[in-house]
Structure 1
């Protein structure tokens, strides 16, 4: 099996090349129904091999998602919950669970204004049971744990112990995560005020609470609300439909709307950022020098083995341009050398004018010009 990544302007694709044979019944079911948990794909037959091409534009794979969040229990919990709900939907269409390819590189998440949405890879080959594949994912998570948070490590090892059982279920993993999650502080809520002509009175489906002073997302709020009203069980995959329906007025979608600016697509704001300058009085181990005259961005010293660049405040280099994705790119430091990798950004990462494919790793040299969307730096 071979996995490749291709970029075509603002779209990215993952291609799996193997000898998998399409299952006629499943293909018809997927083509005839909007199964939102599955990645969109097309099939191409070339020289006796089958290529499955998946649209992964604006999505982040599982490895990057968990790595960015330091393999937190909250992140793992969201994955398990979304996975369980998605598998429940696939059962309705009689999709063989062994045809869902659960790898750290084939599970994707997409950021929306309501949270993260999970997408699974349908690949009609015997990939093993969900339990077997999830066990391998947990092995990956355990092997990548870093020291420092003993309590988190104990919980993750406990989850892995559950997965070692022959007949374990994802529900057991969820039960453990929910019973060991930290209690959330009481949240003060305020009434939502719509600024773009939205009508507050939306019959029985009003959004009456707005988390003005809380970091909790609407996704988390509705997730907890559903758990409470449905006795702790989520019965529908369409977690975001209620929110999306309320925010859609006059044929325009407030969730999916994006603005064009020259050759770049502007991503919708999902969080409030504060400008952070990371230049410190330490010996440089690598440096990004802003190549602009407007002073809109800062210079950055690369002080980590994995140095992340994007517009989100979770990055090491926080860029202010609206054309830059929240998780745009990262720079690796290995044996004293530096490598650039794009994080499946919307508007792309460039080195010396050439755009990078997703997962393409390029060695950096002194005086290389690196561009993240419309923001240029010189690597020193």
Structure 2
């Protein structure tokens, strides 16, 4: 196993200020310290910009030294998994990303203990699930091993425990390996009993299956359902009656032809044998007899259906006076009981109704026509929340309501309902590039602010009116 460059525990500083800033349509994580950053490792990062490290720039003002980390269009891992549970594929992806950052740090001779793998310092591109890390020498005194333990404690807390029990058992086995240090930082996926190539093949297969499912859904949406005409029995009977009316005409003509040939043969220019004339006469008579019998049975069938009635019985009137008196007493007791019970209408009027939150799209937005939809509704003008937290964004697989506009971030903001206070709703900006505004005031990154009835909530240039009623 390769040896990692490790730092000591005396590198922490108590005078560090961590904050977020928004400048020129970009969002930054700012870490400010009283110590000057003279380490060669920062120069290495700024000059080479290695993959998986957040891009950084440095400043010094009034004996304050700070680093700007560009977190534009990225989500904090600790926040990301507050809104959804973690699966085993998510855990594998995190381990793959950490092993990649370990190898990159080793290639550039960076101290692995200064790569911050605590969830609040890991940022994710939610579209690709690629992770980006903070590199800082003075931020805290945790070693890589300690930080990895903290990360897996976070994973266990946010893991979806409704999954297969084998997955949960496997995850706890991996956690035990992390606790005792039985792992290779360069190849964490090995703890899952697989190689990185196997993981890549598994991921490709999973993507192909997902694409097939999406294609099936698109095909289902394109299909036009065939509506079969309703079949009515009366129409069939009418057609049958019409066909029966044509049969006796043919029978009469055949019989008439046979009789003419038998008794007036001179009227027919052809020489037709008497046997044929006799057969035509018999056939015509048979057809007439069959048709008459068929029409009679059809008429009888219709008549029997029309005459059919549904039998019913009438109960005899109760003559027992004792039973009548008992019933009256029971009725009086029930009336007294109802007088003591509060009517539902009175109860609803006296009870305090729970107020619900709705966001109504305003007409004076700067985007024009908008496509706002959920999994159940399309082209909606008002957003009504059915769960909390409730994410608004442009990425369909991560948002509860999708606002399809280029100015909306993939996870733009999140609405909360305070569980212990019925009518208190708040909104948090999720590192949105174009910002979240309440009554014209922009929220800072991950700042949470209460919503009030009548507020104007603006996501970038799209305005909503807040209704809490």
Q: CA deviation at 1:144?
A: 3.5
| Residue among 71, 90, 109 paired with 1:75 | 90
When structure 1 is superposed on structure 2, of 178-187 and 47-56 the one drifting more is: 178-187
Which residue does the alignment assign to 1:204?
Answer: none
Q: 1:213 is paired with a residue of what secondary structure?
A: helix
Q: How far did 1:212 drift?
A: 5.6
- Aligned equivalent of 1:144: 158
Q: How do 1:1-380 and structure 2 match up within 5 A?
A: 1-111=16-126, 115-125=128-138, 127-145=141-159, 148-149=162-163, 151=165, 152-170=167-185, 173-177=188-192, 179=194, 213=212, 285-292=356-363, 296-297=371-372, 298=380, 299-314=382-397, 315-334=399-418, 335-336=420-421, 337-380=424-467
Q: 1:184 to 1:121 in 2, by over 3 A?
A: closer
Distance 2:126 2:410 in 1: 9
Q: 1:188 to 1:59 in 2, by over 3 A?
A: closer
The answer to whether the 8 A contact 2:96-2:188 is kept is no
Deviation of 1:49 (Å): 3.6
Unaligned runs of 5+ in 2: 1-15, 216-220, 222-353, 373-379
* Cα distance in 1 for residues equivalent to 2:439 and 2:187: 50
Q: As a proportion of its length, which structure holds more helix? A: 2
Q: 1:157 to 1:338 in 2, by over 3 A?
A: farther
8 A contact 2:100–2:186 mirrored in 1: no
Length-normalised TM-score, structure 1 = 0.67
Q: Hey, what does 2:227 align to over in structure 1? A: none
Q: State the 1:289 CA deviation.
A: 2.1
RMSD of Structure 2 on Structure 1 (CA): 3.3
User: Are the counterparts in 1 of residues 438 and 456 from structure 2 also a CA contact under 8 Å?
Assistant: yes
1:7 Cα deviation from its structure 2 partner: 1.2
C-alpha distance 366-345 of structure 1, shift in aligned 2 (>3 A): same
Q: CA deviation at 1:156?
A: 3.5
Q: CA deviation at 1:303?
A: 2.6
Deviations 1:27-70 (A, max 9, x none): 33223323122112222234444222211111111123334452
Q: Structure 1 pair 215/23, CA: closer, same or farther in 2 (3 Å)?
A: farther
Q: Map Cα deviations across residues 332-372 of structure 1 (whole Å, 9 max, x no partner).
A: 22233221111112222111122222111111111211122
Q: CA deviation at 1:188?
A: 11
Give the distance between the partners of 1:345 and 1:324, measured in 2 at CA: 8
> Higher Cα Rg: structure 1 or 2?
2
2:304 matched to which residue of 1?
none
Provide the rounded CA distance (Å) in 2 between the counterparts of 1:341 and 1:378. Answer: 17
TM-score between both structures, scaled by the size of structure 2: 0.55
Q: 2:430, 2:446 within 8 Å by CA — same for their partners in 1?
A: yes
Which runs of no fewer than 5 residues in structure 1 stay unpaired? Answer: 190-209, 217-273, 275-282
1:257-278: per-residue Cα shift (whole Å, max 9, x none)? Answer: xxxxxxxxxxxxxxxxx9xxxx
